Amino acid sequence: MDAPETLKRVWCGLVQARLLGLRLATADPRYRKLQVNAESVEHQLARDLGTSAALAGEPLALPTGAPTPLPLDQLQEAVDALVEFSRTARRTMLAAAPSATQWDDERVLRHDSKVIGELGAAWLGQRTSYRVDR
């Protein structure tokens, strides 16, 4: 897959991950803190993806609100899916980076492959906080 297509797919996956995370946080308060940590990473990724040549000029807005909660028996499966998305996106971004013909695409693919890895870590509870509380 080429660099622009990879960036577009990562964006689409990020939007879906965001929606799934919101549904998790709505379903069970234990997941709210993880969602808040993941949210900071999601916003960083959205900002960075918007600086790529492939997505320049695209309106990259993450979903907000409180969607329908997930059924309780699907919560762990949802976390597993978010972690797997993070791992797969990271590998795909690194694989596509050398094929980038635009510097801004290569920069985002290389740098944000690390950031998207943090998304999985946030959902695993391995990062205590990305948020600055005032």
Share the mean pLDDT of the chain: 92
pLDDT at 69: 95
Q: What is the mean pLDDT of residues 74-97?
A: 97
Higher-confidence residue of 126 and 131: namely: 126
Q: How confident is the model at residue 128 (pLDDT cuts 50, 70, 90)?
A: low
Separation CA 34–CA 127 (nearest Å): 9
Q: Report the alpha-carbon angle 99-100-102, nearest 5.
A: 155
Residue 57 backbone zone (phi > 0: left; psi -120 to 50: alpha; other: beta) = left
Contact 39, 87 (CB under 8 A): no
pLDDT at 132: 46
Task: Give the three-class secondary structure for 33.
Answer: helix
Q: How confident is the model at residue 134 (pLDDT cuts 50, 70, 90)?
A: very low
Higher-confidence residue of 127 and 120: namely: 120
To the nearest whole percent, how much of the chain has pLDDT over 90? 84
pLDDT at 133: 45
C-alpha closest to that of 97 among 28, 16, 73, 89: 89
Q: Which amino acid is at 124?
A: L
Q: What residues does each domain of the chain span? A: 3-55+72-123
